[in-house]
Structure 1
């Protein structure tokens, strides 16, 4: 019989060593960074006959307003040997454990690839007028383990959901991965499109300089990220969010957290944050200034990161999520094309799943939580507007304006 027990941080970090593919989101450090949205979390282990856990997970919790009930969230986890585990038994143990913790429902985003489209397939799809989405292309591989997982989850009462807006910061359904295993820099470069290689060399010739940022540079990063979001229509994040992220991921992580800056003649034109827990490294956020496109800061940034990861022995570089768009007439396909030309393969993950443990309470909370989240978002926007207004008013006049209480990350 498999049971789940809460474990210490040291036990958790020891347990994840057996897994090659570990996301930073399955660490206590990221859970600490996201306490504003998920105030409680626990490190847990699955135990069978062995004194060491066979699986581990970080479970985040959010209380249902006005009640003692909780909703649980497992991003990019649990860390289970999906190919060899008794998935049904491990999911049953998870349900039993959550029931004992007053949880009415749980959301899970397994970090496992369902479909893969090889680089050459995506390149061909971008040239094909009738291919507008990844599913218009036949995948080069469908993972039977992922299919089995989805079937078992359905049979166990789990419901496949679209990724909720509130957790899209934690998950991309379609991602690109660059294979680095047993490859030299020359071999990685050879797998790239000639245009991508040319632009990387051009950045060097133009004088782009790459350096490693520190937490003291968080304000510069946030301003660049905000201008990128405003230009491309995605939500921006506060300076507090990035400062909290840098603080926690830079402390105790069993890997490395880095932020590269690209500068041209002293001006910041690009930045990217990368984190590696196991042999898989992940790009978290990227920001660019497009005022000087000829100097190609993005190519320089990614090449510097690839060189670092190769030196560290990383096997996979997860370049992050993209929209499901292959239509070159739309702007969303630009990021797909950039990552394809970098030589990466496209992956569709297994998606978001929810298990109603207490169905009636879960149904009521499901209706109420989006309203509650929207209200919190509006309040946060008002606080940021007030803070921005205060920053533009001379110091002599600020005393008449009350300070916004407790800013929160988006």
Structure 2
């Protein structure tokens, strides 16, 4: 049965999301408000069978204009939300292409929310200890989803470019590899026992040192941002402005109360760590984090993560998502320490299908790619 794609009103988009167990918060109408430098559009896949219109899929499309031109790249971060198990993905993706072309898109980038492989913390830890493998992808996975391979084959047949071909230029906006802590069927004792000895020791040390973790409000965002900027200088990344987080806090909580939280860890009155926590249904994300160079020995980062995990458990979440990890297992890589930190939680490394591109106008697509390379 053929499907068509049309623009959705925000309330239609939210009504569809409400039927799901979970979806990425990057695929909500509110995220379009956060990404102000892009033009946002909610789109829906409509099935007109049986004489009635039914929305059976949805996505947030972000349009980024090519400099000095009226054409745009259409981007669906961690989306769209469609039936990725359909053996005929063309009936979903062809009308999407037709729709965004009418909106002036010269190409599409999307991140199918399809998991391909998973590695337990024990498997990753063993690979790190042996030091013989330089990349996570070269380590035999504990679980491989062969249905995801079929999705990749369909995308190639439909003319989409795989992630390996998008490694340069306007690089992937969302991480292909993330780290999850499964929560389903577990309690606090089980979570704690699943962590490595260093994590358990650091959680105890933070409590003994008097670290106090509290929930913050929008009024605490300036304090969070000051610590975030300090973290950016130390870890060599470009910080986002305070207005970005203010908009994110307002927009996400306006769409659904308590979707985003701010956590603060203090030691003797000093802010030593601060994080944001986002929930969509059964999935909770650790979104942004900051920590002080001063007093790192009181282990505020461990304390705040432990509190967020317990709160995710109390909220009925089945997954606590620590977001991106590096694919490299090389201890000389600057992100190696972050990988070790996340592996210590006892969760699992997860690989998505990655972000795929479809050039609609190859000339303009190449021009935009060149522009983004020069910006980088």
TM-score of the two chains, using structure 2 as the length reference = 0.92
Find the residue that maps to 1:54 and give its secondary structure. Answer: strand
Counterparts of 1:255 and 1:164 in 2: how far apart (Å)?
37
Answer whether contact 1:253 1:277 (CA < 8 A) is retained. Answer: no
1:155 is the counterpart of 2:154: no
- Moved >4 Å (runs of 4+): 163-168
Report the CA distance shift for 1:165/1:224 in structure 2 as closer, same or farther (over 3 A).
farther
Counterparts of 2:137 and 2:41 in 1: how far apart (Å)?
37
Query: 1:103-133, CA deviations, whole angstroms, 9 ceiling, x for partnerless residues?
Result: 1111112222222111211111121121222
Aligned equivalent of 1:223 = 226
Shift of 1:370: 4.3
Report the CA distance shift for 1:81/1:122 in structure 2 as closer, same or farther (over 3 A).
same
Shift of 1:324: 2.0
Answer whether contact 1:259 1:271 (CA < 8 A) is retained. Answer: yes
Aligned equivalent of 2:275 = 272
Answer whether contact 1:70 1:104 (CA < 8 A) is retained. Answer: yes
Answer whether contact 1:163 1:352 (CA < 8 A) is retained. Answer: no
Shift of 1:333: 1.5
Shift of 1:153: 1.1
Aligned equivalent of 1:17 = 18
Shift of 1:195: 2.0
Aligned equivalent of 2:179 = 176
The equivalences for 1:252-331 within 5 A come to 252-253=255-256, 256-331=259-334
Report the CA distance shift for 1:283/1:297 in structure 2 as closer, same or farther (over 3 A).
same
Gaps of 5+ in 2: none
Counterparts of 2:18 and 2:273 in 1: how far apart (Å)?
33
Aligned equivalent of 1:87 = 89
> Please, what is the CA RMSD of the aligned residues?
2.0
Gaps of 5+ in 1: 375-410
Aligned equivalent of 1:47 = 46
1:345 is the counterpart of 2:355: no
Point out the more displaced range, 47-56 or 340-349: 47-56
TM-score of the two chains, using structure 1 as the length reference = 0.85
Report the CA distance shift for 1:76/1:166 in structure 2 as closer, same or farther (over 3 A).
same
Shift of 1:331: 4.3
Counterparts of 1:206 and 1:102 in 2: how far apart (Å)?
57
Instruction: Give the number of aligned pairs.
Output: 370
Report the CA distance shift for 1:294/1:316 in structure 2 as closer, same or farther (over 3 A).
same
